[in-house]
Amino acid sequence: MYQFNRWAGVPREKIDSVAHDMKGLTRMYYPVPTRADVERMKQNVEPPVVTRFLLVRDPFDRFVSAYEDLIVRPQSDNYRNLRRFIFREVYGADTPPGSNNEKNGTSGDDCPVPSFSDFTEFVLRRPNVLDPHWNTYYNLCDPCFLEPTVIVKLETYDRDVAHILRLANVSSDADNYDNAAGQFEGYRLNVNHHRGSPGGNGRAQRNSTTTVDRLAELTEAQFERLYRRYELDFRLFQYDASHYFALYRTD
pLDDT tens profile 176-185: 545 545 555 5
Distance between alpha carbon 153 and the CA centroid of its chain, in Å?
11
Mean pLDDT over 84-93 rounds to 93
Q: What is the DSSP letter of 152?
A: E
Q: Average pLDDT for residues 37-64, to the nearest whole number? A: 85
pLDDT digits (tens, 9 = 90+) for 93-151: 888 877 665 444 444 456 899 999 999 999 999 988 889 999 999 998 889 888 898 99
Positive/negative CA dihedral, 139, 141, 145, 149: negative
What does each C-alpha distance from 227 to 1, 70, 161, 170, 242 come to in angstroms?
Answer: 29, 21, 28, 38, 11
Task: Determine if residue 241 is left, alpha or beta; phi over 0 gives left, psi from -120 to 50 gives alpha, anything else beta.
Answer: alpha
Which residue, 213, 214, 223, 211, is CA-closest to 248?
Answer: 223
The pTM assigned to this predicted structure is 0.79
Rounded to a whole number of angstroms, the distance between the first and last alpha carbons of the chain is: 46
CB 150 within 8 A of CB 163: yes
Contacts of 168 (CB under 8 A, 6+ apart): 51
- Band (pLDDT 50/70/90 cuts) for residue 203 is very low
HSE (CB half, 13 Å, CA atoms) of 220?
A: 6
C-alpha span between 88 and 122 (Å, rounded) = 9
Model pLDDT, residue 209: 54
User: What pLDDT, on the 0 to 100 scale, is given for residue 249?
Assistant: 76
pLDDT of 216 reads 95
What's the whole-number average pLDDT of the chain? 82
